[in-house]
Chain A
Amino acid sequence: MPLFFPQEDASDVRRRYKPDVIKGDMDSIRREVLEFYASLGTEIVDKSHDQDTTDLHKCVTYIRDSASGLDKSNLCVLVVGALGGRFDQEMGNLNVICRFSSMRIVLLSNDSLIHLLPRTYCHEIHIQTSVEGPHCGLIPIGTPSKSSTTTGLQWDLNNTAMEFGGLVSTSNIVKEEKVTVQSDCDLLWTISIKKL
């Protein structure tokens, strides 16, 4: 975080960007980092005994079940750091957004954002053209889709079947400010983030 504010004192930046909660296995956090944030009042939730779920899974569960003082009626979880790195971990993180399909969870990297489009809804995606696009994709992750239909893309789908091993909509282009998607299965929507 201090690297984004090179003109400022690093300690000031760290105090300003203090997490409310640190949660997980605690096998990666450095001791001095843990002590620094604990001394500032960050809640440390140690789940080192639960080896069956990923850190992302634990944190999403925490947000859904425990986080007090948070209005959860219209919640959206923004996640940075879930992509890149070890591929098995990236897949595990994609699986978390598939498993918590009733929650809005957005995975973000420098290059892309990803979120689930549950099959139980028709979707309207309002494209913020100043910050995202034009490259996009619709990914039938985990299940073949017999029928998906879109509007607003360069290569729209029209009751089109998609599956890994066959057609997967990637390197598509957003053409309009509103994209609509309807599908018989959960799809991952992904769009490129502009480098400004």
Chain B
Amino acid sequence: MEHLTPAKAGMARLGVCFANADASPVVLRTVKRHTPFHHSSARRKIPRTNLPVGNAEQIAVLLQKQWHLYHVTPLYRFSYSMLKKYSNELSVFIATEKKKGMAIEGGIELGNEAKFSMLSGLRATENDPEAVFIQIMAKTAAHQGVDKKVVWSGWMCCVDGDFSFLESLPVEFICLPLLFANGPDIVTTMVGEWLQKTFDCYISAFPISSENLTWMAAMWANCFSDSVHRMMELEWSVPPVQLTISLSIHPEDAKALWDSIHTNEDEITIEEVELFMSSLHSHFYRHFGVRLAATQLVHVSTGIASAHCDGKLMLFNCKHIDHVLPFLTELAFHQIQYQPRLCSSID
């Protein structure tokens, strides 16, 4: 009950009662959560601190591979000390699925041994849970003895997650909202089923909207470095005519354009991102007469990473991982909090 000051008490006697004017942060947050259209933030901080990349070899496993991105709701009763148990359970699960004959597809090795390990160093703050790396291997009889071949690999992480959300989770839950998967789709489905059954979570597809791809293009143009020699490639698609338009930009030119727009050292605003894209659009229009503003951006590729709107990601550079992962984590949290729309599930 709000306590009334003397003036308010006087008004109350007249039959008017003013509630406490300042809404507490919790109330305000829940009100915002239930308005139908949420907007993403207009400014985003450029990560200044590099991730404590502890094991360079471990992180190197993540690079140069095409990862398929999925969304995971918080895991119930996931414990880092039981990783061996999880490995055994998942191996058993895959073996039973194979026996059931679920996935008979010619030529695809399903593997029979799973290994869970902790990927330390892939977190930005103390509140982030440690990342988890999963590998599924198959024993193949090579020339001498038995060789283990990695059939499927995946990892889950949470980098610089939304602190207030992580705080509000009950103790039994761990939030690792991003799942990266590389390997046959059938194995991904099996791993996803096992995760959903064991930890009572929900795994869904993670499409990336064109708007977020433009943010990525701007953010990655921002951290150009001399060691990176890959051209910046952008791809637009025009569904009605089945046309795909791709544009390659030299990274130095992209950086020069971005530098002329970007002013504040610490953050990127949406106006800068929009100006960056509209300059590319008008350049293209002047030369080719095609209005890119009417098309949809589907693929962005720079020397740091490449992202496709279907939720496919490739990381190229170990040093600049901290420019990619926090943004993806933010998008994942946005989906959990504001748009719990059930995207097409993994199975």
Answer whether A and B are interacting partners.
no
